[in-house]
Amino acid sequence: MTLRVKDLKVYYQTLRGDVHALDGVTFDLEDGEIMGLAGESGCGKSTLGKSLIRLDSRMRHVGGSIELDGKDVPIADDDAMVPLRYHEISLIPQYAMSALNPTRKIGRLVTELLRARGVRPGDIEDELKRRLELVGLSTDVLNRFPIELSGGMKQRVVMVISTLLNPSLLIADEVTSALDVSTQRSVAESLVEFRDREYVRSMVFVTHDISLVYQMADTIMVMYAGRIAEKAPVKTIIDAPRHPYTQMLISALPEVGSTSTEERLEGIPGKPPGLLNPPTGCRFKDRCPMAFDKCAEQPPLLEIEPGHWAACWKTGE
């Protein structure tokens, strides 16, 4: 067991009150597992990604715990998190294009970062060069400034830097969102390769692109309005989803090879609820075609078959 998150609650503090971005999230991540984390904008998937490594100044840890390799992750204590960061938990940020200091050559940036984290840069130099070549970059990029690289190259440089210390857990936050389709694929493939070569033990891949997750991930976790709707192996989520939200989400995707032009793809009518004052009970009930009386109570996240978790009263029957 690599990662165990229990009833995690993280709120954003705003002038109008707390935004319940994560409201009781529980899941496990196995060794070697790549978990796709999907959901609409504002469902809390990026917040969950951030909560695993660093809360920003507006985020507040309200409850719940995170355990990595049997050790507690003190997410609320910024200083106590420092030893874990980079060594145990690492991040490929959403903004990888601008994640590198523009006035430092990449090689020097890496050296300074490593030295600051107590690693002798010389010990790791060969590995760094090997990994750059693995993702298709020449080692010459170390002598360049970030502005001299293309977006895709910067993305790959950040990928290599982030995973250089072989972390247990890698959070990839919307890493493919800003890339074109062919680059998306090569980035996704590199990430899988990193896992296969055990550069990273397990990975949370935050995205809204379910078709990409389908190609690379082992499991998919679908979030809705700050809670988990369903978590299952990729095939199960795509072929036999049980939660009505997942079902509607999957049916809203175009099918490969489909030539039908008569059927328009159906979206999900309605909007997700605001998280400033979230509704009680099941948060999907207002948009759910199967909603009934019991949905006024919050459905628990239950394991309906091994490795398949869902939070819906209808699936629990």
Residues that bind other proteins (CB under 8 A): 53-54, 56, 81-87, 90-91, 93, 95, 98-105, 112-113, 116-117, 145, 147-148, 158, 162
Q: How far is the CB of 83 from other proteins (least distance, A)?
A: 7
Task: Give the whole-angstrom CA distance, residue 37 versus residue 276.
Answer: 22
Q: How far is the CB of 147 from other proteins (least distance, A)?
A: 5
Q: Are strands 302-305 and 59-68 parallel, antiparallel or unpaired?
A: unpaired
Dmax over Cα atoms in the chain, in whole Å?
Answer: 64
Task: Give the whole-angstrom CA distance, residue 132 versus residue 106.
Answer: 12
CB nearer other proteins, residue 29 or residue 109: 109
CB nearer other proteins, residue 54 or residue 208: 54
CB nearer other proteins, residue 125 or residue 145: 145
* Helix, strand, coil percentages, rounded to 5, for the chain: 30, 25, 45
Task: Give the whole-angstrom CA distance, residue 112 versus residue 127.
Answer: 16
CB nearer other proteins, residue 53 or residue 288: 53
Q: DSSP letters of 102-123? A: TTS-HHHHHHHHHHHTT--HHH
Q: One-letter amino acid identity for 212?
A: L
Element (H, E) at 196: helix 181-196
User: Dihedral sign, CA of 94, 167, 215, 230?
Assistant: negative
Tokens of 143: 């002598």
Q: How far is the CB of 93 from other proteins (least distance, A)?
A: 6
CB nearer other proteins, residue 160 or residue 237: 160
Q: How far is the CB of 87 from other proteins (least distance, A)?
A: 8
CB nearer other proteins, residue 68 or residue 84: 84
Q: How far is the CB of 117 from other proteins (least distance, A)?
A: 6
Q: How far is the CB of 85 from other proteins (least distance, A)?
A: 3
Q: How far is the CB of 112 from other proteins (least distance, A)?
A: 6
Tokens of 34: 């790549």
CB nearer other proteins, residue 13 or residue 277: 13
Q: Are strands 34-38 and 219-224 parallel, antiparallel or unpaired?
A: parallel
